[in-house]
Structure 1
Amino acid sequence: MIGMPWPEWDRDILVSVNRLGSPQWDGAWSLATSIVAWTPLYLGLLYGVARSFSGKRRLAVVAVVLFTLAFTLLTTEIVKETVQRLRPVNDPVMLKQLRVVVLAPGYSFFSGHASNAAAITTLFILFMRKKLKWVCILCLWPLVFGLSRIYFAVHYPLDVFTGWLAGTGIALAVYFFMGRQLVDYAAYRETVANRK
């Protein structure tokens, strides 16, 4: 997979978006790309789960989210090490065309930020859609998170788009093949325990 051809449009879009950047916007986009900056969202999601589910079901939802996150991280790293696409800021050919603000180690394809954000968002929407009507607004999180990676030229658009697809796909698979059943089983166990 090393040295495989990548589409020209992918590089062109990256350069165009990166050149739109300016020092006035760098601070806001730095905040958008920081995992720490999104901590209030994570805490809010956990609070929503705590309020919406009882004991065993709450633990089941958190377990499914943690499993999905770990699986997504592992999948992303395996693909990155297999494909070994250089990040734009680490590619000597691309570097001449870019406005470099941040540097990042490792490989580019596909974006872990995008895949993880998409996976968590998809799961919370699936689990919370009947309990919180506004939960679909969470889709803004992976969108902004992913675009920030392109803005700083640490990922190509194709890396981010593939990350969104991979994270969403993994979350859907986990939810439909394991997550729902685990939460239903937890609800059943609560019912049995309450009868005693």
Structure 2
Amino acid sequence: MLERLLEIDRQVLIYLNNFGSDTYDSFWKTITKFPTWIPLFVLVIVLLFWRESVKTAISKLITYIAVLLVVQSFVTITKNGIGRLRPNNDETINQIIRAVNQSHNFSFFSGHAAFSFCFATMAVLFLKDKIKLIHLIYIFPILFSFSRIYLGVHFPSDIIVGALVGIIFAFLFKGIYNYFSSKFLIN
């Protein structure tokens, strides 16, 4: 059963990855880099402070930073523990995919997906009452995560699991924030 799922994962990667062309490579190489998204990160930080007490905004920012650090640590521990090769390093498929980027650490699960979906979910959870269109922030993790398939450095299952991990940790830390803010924060 697991081997069948892994084969489907490989076939979906091959299918999606082969949509790529030299024309779009530089776009996806830019999308996949964290610095490209710094304006979005700064905007979310500014919005955390918008119409909030300093104490509340700082508490939200600390929660945000804490969850992202925990997610990144969890990604690293999991990748090293599982040790799944990235598609560009997997000899069973690396000759039939477009490996635009080369990456040499492990694949399962995607740190890009975990980080970006956690970031976006936290933004939605913290800002949904202030900003009606905040759900549009999910464009960021969708593009950011898909770039990893396009570049040939992640399997679709890496992206799906990374996204789920990011979302779960966001809800967990929002719950922790709610618990402590109800006890210690007075707006």
TM-score interval w.r.t. the shorter chain?
over 0.9
1:185 to partner: Cα distance = 4.4
8 Å contact kept, 1:33–1:149: yes
1:49 to partner: Cα distance = 0.9
CA distance in 1, matches of 2:155, 2:44: 29
- Any unmatched runs of 5+ in structure 2? none
Identity of aligned residues (%): 28
8 Å contact kept, 1:56–1:186: no
The match for 2:39 is 40
1:53 and 2:52 matched: yes
The structure with the larger Rg is: 1
CA RMSD, 1 decimal: 1.4
Per-residue Cα deviation, 1:8-59 (whole angstroms, up to 9, x for no partner): 1110111111111011111111121111100110011111112132111011
CA distance in 2, matches of 1:57, 1:184: 11
8 Å contact kept, 2:99–2:153: no
CA distance in 1, matches of 2:25, 2:38: 20
The match for 2:108 is 109
- Pairing of 1:146-185 with structure 2 (within 5 A): 146-176=145-175, 178-185=176-183
CA distance in 1, matches of 2:166, 2:183: 25
The match for 1:90 is 89
Q: Which runs of 4+ in 1 moved over 3 A?
A: 182-187
Amino acid in the other structure paired with 1:126: L
- Any unmatched runs of 5+ in structure 1? 191-196
Aligned residues: 185
More helix by share: 1
CA distance in 2, matches of 1:152, 1:23: 11
Provide TM-score, normalisation by structure 2. Answer: 0.94
8 Å contact kept, 1:56–1:187: yes
The match for 2:68 is 69
Distance change in 2, residues 1:134/1:186 (3 Å):
farther
Amino acid in the other structure paired with 2:170: A
